[in-house]
Structure 1
Amino acid sequence: MHPDAWLLVVDPQRIFADPASQWGSPMFADIVEPVRRLAADAGERTVVTRWVPAADPQGSWRAYLDAWPFADVAEDDPLLDLVPEVSGLGRHVVSLPTFGKWGPELEAVTGPTPHLVLTGVATDCCVVSTALAAADAGATVTVVTDACAGSSPDNQRAALHVMGLYPPQITLATTADLLP
Protein backbone atom coordinates (compact mmCIF):
# COMPACT_ATOMS: atom_id res chain seq x y z
CA MET A 1 0.00 0.00 0.00
CA HIS A 2 1.23 3.51 -0.70
CA PRO A 3 2.72 4.96 2.53
CA ASP A 4 0.51 8.08 2.33
CA ALA A 5 -2.72 6.12 1.87
CA TRP A 6 -5.35 5.75 4.58
CA LEU A 7 -7.06 2.39 4.96
CA LEU A 8 -10.78 2.87 5.53
CA VAL A 9 -12.68 -0.14 6.89
CA VAL A 10 -16.37 0.64 6.42
CA ASP A 11 -18.81 -0.68 9.03
CA PRO A 12 -17.35 -4.04 10.11
CA GLN A 13 -20.16 -4.51 12.60
CA ARG A 14 -22.21 -7.43 13.89
CA ILE A 15 -25.33 -6.09 12.15
CA PHE A 16 -23.61 -6.68 8.77
CA ALA A 17 -21.47 -9.71 9.68
CA ASP A 18 -23.97 -11.96 11.42
CA PRO A 19 -25.66 -14.29 8.91
CA ALA A 20 -28.78 -14.23 11.11
CA SER A 21 -29.07 -10.43 10.79
CA GLN A 22 -31.49 -9.07 8.21
CA TRP A 23 -28.54 -7.00 6.94
CA GLY A 24 -25.94 -9.75 7.20
CA SER A 25 -23.63 -10.13 4.19
CA PRO A 26 -23.01 -13.70 3.06
CA MET A 27 -19.59 -12.49 1.90
CA PHE A 28 -18.41 -10.95 5.18
CA ALA A 29 -16.29 -13.85 6.48
CA ASP A 30 -14.26 -13.80 3.25
CA ILE A 31 -13.07 -10.21 3.76
CA VAL A 32 -11.74 -10.54 7.31
CA GLU A 33 -8.27 -11.80 6.35
CA PRO A 34 -7.67 -9.30 3.52
CA VAL A 35 -8.79 -6.44 5.79
CA ARG A 36 -6.49 -7.62 8.59
CA ARG A 37 -3.53 -7.85 6.18
CA LEU A 38 -4.19 -4.36 4.83
CA ALA A 39 -4.56 -2.96 8.37
CA ALA A 40 -1.27 -4.55 9.41
CA ASP A 41 0.36 -2.70 6.53
CA ALA A 42 -1.46 0.62 7.11
CA GLY A 43 -0.91 0.66 10.88
CA GLU A 44 -1.86 4.02 12.40
CA ARG A 45 -3.31 5.12 9.05
CA THR A 46 -6.31 2.81 9.54
CA VAL A 47 -9.79 4.24 10.15
CA VAL A 48 -12.78 2.08 11.05
CA THR A 49 -16.32 3.38 10.63
CA ARG A 50 -19.60 2.39 12.24
CA TRP A 51 -23.14 2.95 11.06
CA VAL A 52 -25.37 4.09 13.90
CA PRO A 53 -28.99 5.22 13.67
CA ALA A 54 -29.63 8.89 14.33
CA ALA A 55 -31.05 9.69 17.75
CA ASP A 56 -33.75 11.78 16.06
CA PRO A 57 -33.96 10.61 12.42
CA GLN A 58 -35.16 13.22 9.96
CA GLY A 59 -36.69 13.04 6.49
CA SER A 60 -36.24 9.77 4.64
CA TRP A 61 -34.22 8.32 7.54
CA ARG A 62 -37.42 8.11 9.64
CA ALA A 63 -39.12 6.02 6.94
CA TYR A 64 -35.96 3.94 6.52
CA LEU A 65 -35.78 3.05 10.21
CA ASP A 66 -39.54 2.39 10.26
CA ALA A 67 -38.93 -0.14 7.46
CA TRP A 68 -36.05 -1.76 9.41
CA PRO A 69 -37.11 -1.49 13.08
CA PHE A 70 -34.59 -4.11 14.22
CA ALA A 71 -31.81 -1.63 13.40
CA ASP A 72 -33.33 1.31 15.27
CA VAL A 73 -31.34 0.71 18.45
CA ALA A 74 -29.12 2.77 20.74
CA GLU A 75 -25.61 3.52 19.50
CA ASP A 76 -24.14 1.27 22.20
CA ASP A 77 -26.36 -1.72 21.36
CA PRO A 78 -24.26 -4.90 20.84
CA LEU A 79 -25.79 -5.25 17.36
CA LEU A 80 -23.72 -2.22 16.32
CA ASP A 81 -20.46 -3.44 17.89
CA LEU A 82 -17.41 -3.98 15.71
CA VAL A 83 -16.81 -7.67 15.07
CA PRO A 84 -14.01 -9.08 17.25
CA GLU A 85 -11.98 -10.09 14.19
CA VAL A 86 -11.40 -6.44 13.26
CA SER A 87 -11.86 -4.53 16.50
CA GLY A 88 -8.70 -2.75 17.54
CA LEU A 89 -7.35 -2.46 13.99
CA GLY A 90 -7.08 1.30 14.14
CA ARG A 91 -7.17 3.96 16.80
CA HIS A 92 -9.55 6.05 14.69
CA VAL A 93 -13.24 5.07 14.82
CA VAL A 94 -15.84 7.28 13.14
CA SER A 95 -19.52 6.58 13.90
CA LEU A 96 -22.14 8.23 11.67
CA PRO A 97 -25.88 7.85 10.97
CA THR A 98 -25.33 7.87 7.20
CA PHE A 99 -24.56 5.33 4.47
CA GLY A 100 -21.63 7.35 3.17
CA LYS A 101 -18.89 7.96 5.68
CA TRP A 102 -17.06 10.76 3.87
CA GLY A 103 -17.61 14.09 5.60
CA PRO A 104 -16.12 16.46 8.17
CA GLU A 105 -15.53 13.75 10.80
CA LEU A 106 -13.50 11.53 8.47
CA GLU A 107 -11.80 14.49 6.78
CA ALA A 108 -10.61 15.65 10.23
CA VAL A 109 -8.63 12.40 10.46
CA THR A 110 -7.40 11.95 6.88
CA GLY A 111 -7.19 15.52 5.58
CA PRO A 112 -9.31 17.02 2.79
CA THR A 113 -7.94 15.17 -0.26
CA PRO A 114 -6.47 11.88 0.94
CA HIS A 115 -5.77 8.65 -0.87
CA LEU A 116 -8.33 6.27 0.64
CA VAL A 117 -7.96 2.51 0.34
CA LEU A 118 -11.55 1.44 0.81
CA THR A 119 -12.70 -1.87 2.29
CA GLY A 120 -15.75 -3.04 4.22
CA VAL A 121 -19.43 -3.72 3.96
CA ALA A 122 -21.79 -3.44 2.19
CA THR A 123 -20.18 -2.75 -1.15
CA ASP A 124 -23.55 -1.89 -2.66
CA CYS A 125 -24.54 0.57 0.07
CA CYS A 126 -22.07 2.17 2.49
CA VAL A 127 -18.92 1.47 0.46
CA VAL A 128 -20.23 2.90 -2.83
CA SER A 129 -21.81 5.85 -0.98
CA THR A 130 -18.48 6.61 0.69
CA ALA A 131 -16.43 6.16 -2.49
CA LEU A 132 -18.56 8.47 -4.62
CA ALA A 133 -18.76 11.24 -2.00
CA ALA A 134 -15.02 11.08 -1.26
CA ALA A 135 -14.10 11.17 -4.95
CA ASP A 136 -16.47 14.07 -5.50
CA ALA A 137 -14.69 15.95 -2.71
CA GLY A 138 -11.29 15.36 -4.33
CA ALA A 139 -10.05 12.21 -2.60
CA THR A 140 -8.30 9.51 -4.56
CA VAL A 141 -10.08 6.23 -3.85
CA THR A 142 -8.84 2.67 -4.33
CA VAL A 143 -11.58 0.10 -3.72
CA VAL A 144 -10.13 -3.26 -2.68
CA THR A 145 -12.46 -5.71 -4.39
CA ASP A 146 -11.57 -8.78 -2.30
CA ALA A 147 -11.81 -6.80 0.94
CA CYS A 148 -15.38 -5.57 0.35
CA ALA A 149 -18.52 -7.58 1.02
CA GLY A 150 -21.78 -6.94 -0.79
CA SER A 151 -25.28 -7.80 0.30
CA SER A 152 -25.17 -10.50 -2.38
CA PRO A 153 -22.68 -11.58 -5.06
CA ASP A 154 -24.83 -9.95 -7.78
CA ASN A 155 -25.06 -6.67 -5.87
CA GLN A 156 -21.31 -6.82 -5.21
CA ARG A 157 -20.59 -7.12 -8.94
CA ALA A 158 -23.01 -4.29 -9.77
CA ALA A 159 -21.50 -1.90 -7.21
CA LEU A 160 -17.94 -2.68 -8.31
CA HIS A 161 -18.99 -2.10 -11.92
CA VAL A 162 -20.41 1.32 -11.04
CA MET A 163 -17.33 2.37 -9.05
CA GLY A 164 -15.14 1.10 -11.89
CA LEU A 165 -16.68 3.78 -14.11
CA TYR A 166 -14.89 6.58 -12.22
CA PRO A 167 -11.17 6.32 -12.99
CA PRO A 168 -8.82 7.94 -12.16
CA GLN A 169 -10.68 9.20 -9.08
CA ILE A 170 -11.84 5.69 -8.15
CA THR A 171 -9.87 2.61 -9.13
CA LEU A 172 -10.35 -1.05 -8.32
CA ALA A 173 -7.57 -3.28 -6.99
CA THR A 174 -7.10 -6.51 -5.06
CA THR A 175 -5.19 -7.04 -1.84
CA ALA A 176 -2.46 -8.78 -3.86
CA ASP A 177 -2.16 -5.67 -6.07
CA LEU A 178 -1.52 -3.50 -3.00
CA LEU A 179 0.64 -5.67 -0.77
CA PRO A 180 3.98 -7.29 -1.57
Structure 2
Amino acid sequence: MGTGNARLTNSHAQDGGPSAEPFGDRCVHLCVDMQRMFAESTDWQTPWMPRVLPHVHRLAEAHPERTIFTRFIPAARPGEGRGTWATYSERWADMTRERLAPDLIDLVPDLARFVPPAQVIDKAVYSPWLDTDLDDRLRARAADTLIVTGAETDVCVLAAVLGGVDLGYRIVLATDALCSSCDEAHDALLLMYRMRYGHQVETMTTAEILDRWR
Protein backbone atom coordinates (compact mmCIF):
# COMPACT_ATOMS: atom_id res chain seq x y z
CA MET A 1 0.00 0.00 0.00
CA GLY A 2 1.30 3.46 -0.87
CA THR A 3 2.64 5.85 1.71
CA GLY A 4 2.40 9.22 -0.04
CA ASN A 5 5.51 10.57 1.69
CA ALA A 6 4.41 13.17 4.21
CA ARG A 7 7.64 15.14 3.96
CA LEU A 8 6.34 16.63 0.69
CA THR A 9 3.00 17.94 1.91
CA ASN A 10 3.92 21.38 3.29
CA SER A 11 2.73 24.50 1.47
CA HIS A 12 5.30 26.19 -0.74
CA ALA A 13 5.33 28.42 -3.77
CA GLN A 14 8.38 29.84 -5.50
CA ASP A 15 8.99 32.83 -7.76
CA GLY A 16 6.41 35.09 -6.15
CA GLY A 17 3.40 32.83 -6.74
CA PRO A 18 0.07 34.12 -5.37
CA SER A 19 -0.06 31.67 -2.46
CA ALA A 20 -1.48 34.25 -0.03
CA GLU A 21 -4.50 35.02 -2.18
CA PRO A 22 -7.85 33.67 -0.97
CA PHE A 23 -10.05 31.52 -3.19
CA GLY A 24 -13.24 33.18 -4.29
CA ASP A 25 -16.04 32.49 -6.73
CA ARG A 26 -13.61 32.29 -9.64
CA CYS A 27 -12.20 29.08 -8.18
CA VAL A 28 -13.22 25.60 -9.35
CA HIS A 29 -12.42 22.21 -7.85
CA LEU A 30 -11.27 19.86 -10.62
CA CYS A 31 -11.38 16.29 -9.35
CA VAL A 32 -9.61 13.84 -11.63
CA ASP A 33 -10.79 10.26 -12.21
CA MET A 34 -12.00 9.24 -8.77
CA GLN A 35 -13.76 6.23 -10.27
CA ARG A 36 -14.71 2.81 -9.03
CA MET A 37 -12.35 1.07 -11.49
CA PHE A 38 -9.41 2.74 -9.73
CA ALA A 39 -10.78 2.28 -6.21
CA GLU A 40 -11.82 -1.37 -6.44
CA SER A 41 -10.08 -4.63 -7.28
CA THR A 42 -9.21 -4.25 -10.97
CA ASP A 43 -6.02 -4.19 -13.00
CA TRP A 44 -5.94 -0.42 -12.50
CA GLN A 45 -6.57 -0.30 -8.77
CA THR A 46 -4.86 2.57 -6.97
CA PRO A 47 -4.32 1.04 -3.52
CA TRP A 48 -4.37 4.16 -1.38
CA MET A 49 -7.25 5.96 -3.09
CA PRO A 50 -9.51 5.15 -0.09
CA ARG A 51 -7.12 7.03 2.17
CA VAL A 52 -7.33 10.29 0.20
CA LEU A 53 -11.06 9.98 -0.53
CA PRO A 54 -12.15 11.72 2.72
CA HIS A 55 -10.10 14.79 1.76
CA VAL A 56 -11.56 14.88 -1.76
CA HIS A 57 -15.00 14.44 -0.21
CA ARG A 58 -14.48 17.44 2.08
CA LEU A 59 -13.59 19.70 -0.84
CA ALA A 60 -16.49 18.52 -2.99
CA GLU A 61 -18.92 18.79 -0.09
CA ALA A 62 -17.81 22.34 0.68
CA HIS A 63 -18.48 23.58 -2.87
CA PRO A 64 -20.37 20.97 -4.93
CA GLU A 65 -21.66 23.62 -7.30
CA ARG A 66 -18.08 24.58 -8.09
CA THR A 67 -16.80 21.02 -8.57
CA ILE A 68 -16.12 19.30 -11.88
CA PHE A 69 -15.34 15.58 -11.90
CA THR A 70 -13.53 13.93 -14.79
CA ARG A 71 -13.94 10.29 -15.77
CA PHE A 72 -11.51 8.31 -17.88
CA ILE A 73 -13.49 6.26 -20.40
CA PRO A 74 -11.56 3.19 -21.58
CA ALA A 75 -11.55 2.00 -25.18
CA ALA A 76 -14.58 0.00 -26.23
CA ARG A 77 -12.47 -3.02 -27.23
CA PRO A 78 -8.84 -4.15 -27.46
CA GLY A 79 -6.99 -2.51 -30.32
CA GLU A 80 -9.21 0.57 -30.42
CA GLY A 81 -7.51 3.93 -30.41
CA ARG A 82 -5.05 6.07 -32.32
CA GLY A 83 -1.39 5.04 -32.43
CA THR A 84 -0.08 3.85 -29.08
CA TRP A 85 -3.58 4.02 -27.63
CA ALA A 86 -4.39 0.97 -29.77
CA THR A 87 -1.57 -1.04 -28.22
CA TYR A 88 -2.49 0.39 -24.82
CA SER A 89 -6.02 -0.97 -25.09
CA GLU A 90 -4.57 -4.33 -26.16
CA ARG A 91 -2.20 -4.34 -23.17
CA TRP A 92 -5.13 -3.62 -20.82
CA ALA A 93 -7.73 -5.71 -22.66
CA ASP A 94 -9.60 -6.61 -19.48
CA MET A 95 -10.14 -2.90 -18.81
CA THR A 96 -11.87 -2.22 -22.12
CA ARG A 97 -15.58 -1.53 -22.01
CA GLU A 98 -16.55 -4.82 -23.65
CA ARG A 99 -15.05 -6.69 -20.67
CA LEU A 100 -15.37 -4.22 -17.80
CA ALA A 101 -18.55 -4.00 -15.74
CA PRO A 102 -20.16 -0.70 -16.85
CA ASP A 103 -20.71 0.61 -13.34
CA LEU A 104 -16.97 0.46 -12.61
CA ILE A 105 -16.55 3.51 -14.84
CA ASP A 106 -18.76 5.49 -12.45
CA LEU A 107 -17.46 7.88 -9.83
CA VAL A 108 -17.02 6.34 -6.40
CA PRO A 109 -20.36 6.54 -4.56
CA ASP A 110 -19.14 9.02 -1.93
CA LEU A 111 -18.52 11.55 -4.71
CA ALA A 112 -21.23 10.60 -7.20
CA ARG A 113 -23.87 11.90 -4.81
CA PHE A 114 -22.66 15.46 -5.41
CA VAL A 115 -23.75 15.28 -9.08
CA PRO A 116 -25.67 17.51 -9.62
CA PRO A 117 -24.88 20.30 -8.85
CA ALA A 118 -21.33 19.10 -9.50
CA GLN A 119 -20.61 18.38 -13.17
CA VAL A 120 -18.93 15.47 -14.95
CA ILE A 121 -16.65 15.54 -17.99
CA ASP A 122 -15.70 12.32 -19.78
CA LYS A 123 -12.38 11.92 -21.56
CA ALA A 124 -10.73 9.18 -23.59
CA VAL A 125 -7.11 10.14 -22.88
CA TYR A 126 -5.12 11.33 -19.87
CA SER A 127 -5.75 15.02 -20.47
CA PRO A 128 -9.16 16.53 -19.63
CA TRP A 129 -8.43 19.38 -22.05
CA LEU A 130 -8.39 17.41 -25.33
CA ASP A 131 -11.69 16.92 -27.17
CA THR A 132 -13.74 18.19 -24.22
CA ASP A 133 -15.46 21.45 -23.36
CA LEU A 134 -13.68 21.83 -20.02
CA ASP A 135 -12.00 25.13 -20.89
CA ASP A 136 -15.29 26.49 -22.26
CA ARG A 137 -17.10 25.56 -19.05
CA LEU A 138 -14.43 27.24 -16.96
CA ARG A 139 -14.45 30.37 -19.10
CA ALA A 140 -18.23 30.55 -18.76
CA ARG A 141 -17.72 30.71 -15.00
CA ALA A 142 -14.89 33.27 -15.38
CA ALA A 143 -12.73 30.78 -13.47
CA ASP A 144 -9.07 31.59 -13.00
CA THR A 145 -8.06 29.09 -10.30
CA LEU A 146 -8.24 25.30 -10.25
CA ILE A 147 -7.97 23.24 -7.09
CA VAL A 148 -6.87 19.84 -8.33
CA THR A 149 -7.46 16.51 -6.60
CA GLY A 150 -7.69 12.88 -7.69
CA ALA A 151 -5.79 10.11 -9.41
CA GLU A 152 -3.16 9.47 -10.44
CA THR A 153 -0.68 12.14 -9.42
CA ASP A 154 1.81 11.11 -12.10
CA VAL A 155 -0.60 10.31 -14.96
CA CYS A 156 -4.01 11.97 -15.42
CA VAL A 157 -3.46 14.56 -12.69
CA LEU A 158 -0.17 15.48 -14.35
CA ALA A 159 -1.93 15.97 -17.69
CA ALA A 160 -4.63 18.09 -16.05
CA VAL A 161 -2.09 20.27 -14.28
CA LEU A 162 0.19 20.94 -17.24
CA GLY A 163 -2.75 21.63 -19.54
CA GLY A 164 -4.16 24.05 -17.00
CA VAL A 165 -0.79 25.79 -16.69
CA ASP A 166 -0.58 26.19 -20.47
CA LEU A 167 -4.03 27.81 -20.46
CA GLY A 168 -3.04 30.26 -17.75
CA TYR A 169 -4.95 28.91 -14.78
CA ARG A 170 -3.67 29.25 -11.25
CA ILE A 171 -3.24 25.64 -10.12
CA VAL A 172 -3.52 24.57 -6.48
CA LEU A 173 -2.77 20.95 -5.69
CA ALA A 174 -4.42 19.47 -2.61
CA THR A 175 -1.47 17.31 -1.59
CA ASP A 176 -3.42 15.04 0.76
CA ALA A 177 -6.18 14.55 -1.85
CA LEU A 178 -3.95 13.06 -4.56
CA CYS A 179 -2.99 9.43 -4.99
CA SER A 180 -0.94 7.15 -7.20
CA SER A 181 -0.10 3.47 -7.45
CA CYS A 182 3.59 4.44 -7.45
CA ASP A 183 4.86 6.17 -4.32
CA GLU A 184 8.16 7.23 -5.88
CA ALA A 185 6.49 8.89 -8.86
CA HIS A 186 3.94 10.61 -6.60
CA ASP A 187 6.68 12.11 -4.44
CA ALA A 188 8.80 13.04 -7.45
CA LEU A 189 5.91 14.91 -9.08
CA LEU A 190 5.15 16.93 -5.96
CA LEU A 191 8.83 17.84 -5.73
CA MET A 192 8.91 18.79 -9.41
CA TYR A 193 5.90 21.07 -9.07
CA ARG A 194 7.55 22.90 -6.18
CA MET A 195 11.00 23.12 -7.71
CA ARG A 196 10.06 23.89 -11.32
CA TYR A 197 6.51 25.29 -11.42
CA GLY A 198 6.37 27.34 -8.24
CA HIS A 199 4.96 30.45 -9.92
CA GLN A 200 2.04 28.59 -11.53
CA VAL A 201 1.46 25.58 -9.27
CA GLU A 202 0.90 25.79 -5.52
CA THR A 203 0.68 22.94 -3.05
CA MET A 204 -1.52 23.01 0.04
CA THR A 205 -3.32 20.60 2.31
CA THR A 206 -7.09 20.27 2.15
CA ALA A 207 -7.41 22.08 5.48
CA GLU A 208 -5.36 25.01 4.18
CA ILE A 209 -7.45 25.22 1.03
CA LEU A 210 -10.77 25.13 2.89
CA ASP A 211 -9.52 27.81 5.27
CA ARG A 212 -9.03 30.14 2.29
CA TRP A 213 -12.08 29.06 0.27
CA ARG A 214 -15.08 30.38 2.17
Cα deviation digits, residues 115-167 of structure 1 (max 9, x gap): 11000011111001110111011111111110011112222112212222212
Q: How far has the Cα of 1:106 moved from its partner?
A: 0.9
Aligned with residue 120 of structure 2, among 64, 84, 93: 93
1: distance between equivalents of 2:23 and 2:151?
A: 22
TM-score scaled to structure 2, two decimals? 0.77
What is the rounded CA distance, in whole Å, between the counterparts of 1:99 and 1:178 in structure 2? 25
Q: 1:81 to 1:43 in 2, by over 3 A?
A: closer
Partner of 1:63: 87
Root mean square deviation of aligned Cα: 2.0
Which one-letter code corresponds to 1:169 in the other structure? Q
Of residues 145, 148, 167 in structure 2, which corresponds to 1:137? 167
**Counterparts of 2:93 and 2:154 in 1: how far apart (Å)?**
21
Contact 2:28/2:143 (8 A) holds in 1: no
TM-superposed CA distance for 1:39, in Å, is: 1.2
Q: For the Cα contact (< 8 Å) 1:16–1:122, is it kept in 2? A: no
Q: Distance in 1 between matches of 2:179 and 2:93?
A: 23
Tell me, yes or no, if structure 1 residue 146 matches structure 2 residue 168.
no
List gaps (5 residues or longer) in structure 1.
none
Does 109-118 or 40-49 show the bigger shift? 109-118
CA contact (8 A) 1:17 1:83 kept: yes
1:17 pairs with 2:22: no
Please give the per-residue CA displacement for 1:8-46, whole angstroms capped at 9, x wherever unaligned: 11001111111x222111110111111111112223110
Equivalent positions of 1:77-88 (< 5 A) are: 77-88=102-113
Instruction: Tell whether the 8 Å contact from 1:36 to 1:89 is kept in structure 2 after alignment.
Output: no
Equivalent residues of 2:128, 2:134 under 8 A apart: yes
* Cα distance, 1:63–1:128 mapped onto 2, change above 3 Å: same
Which one has more relative contact order, counting CA pairs under 8 Å at least 6 apart? Answer: 2
Separation in 1 of the partners of 2:48 and 2:42? 13
CA contact (8 A) 1:38 1:175 kept: yes
Identity %: 31
Moved over 4 A (4+): none
Look up the equivalent residue of 1:168 and give its one-letter code.
H
- Between the aligned partners of 1:16 and 1:160, the Cα distance in structure 2 is 21
Structure number with bigger Rg: 2
Going from structure 1 to structure 2, the CA distance change for 1:26 and 1:76 (only over 3 Å counts) comes to closer
Any gaps of 5 or more consecutive residues in structure 2?
Answer: 1-21
Residue 170 (1) aligns with residue 195 (2): no
- Work out the CA distance in 1 between the residues paired with 2:107 and 2:33: 8
2:171–2:201 contact (8 Å) kept in structure 1: yes
Partner residue, 2:66: 45
- Paired letter, 1:12: M
Counterpart code for 1:173? M
Q: How many residue pairs get matched?
A: 179
2:110 aligned counterpart, secondary structure: coil
**Does the aligned pair in 1 maintain the 2:145–2:172 contact within 8 Å?**
yes
The SS at the match of 2:208 is: helix
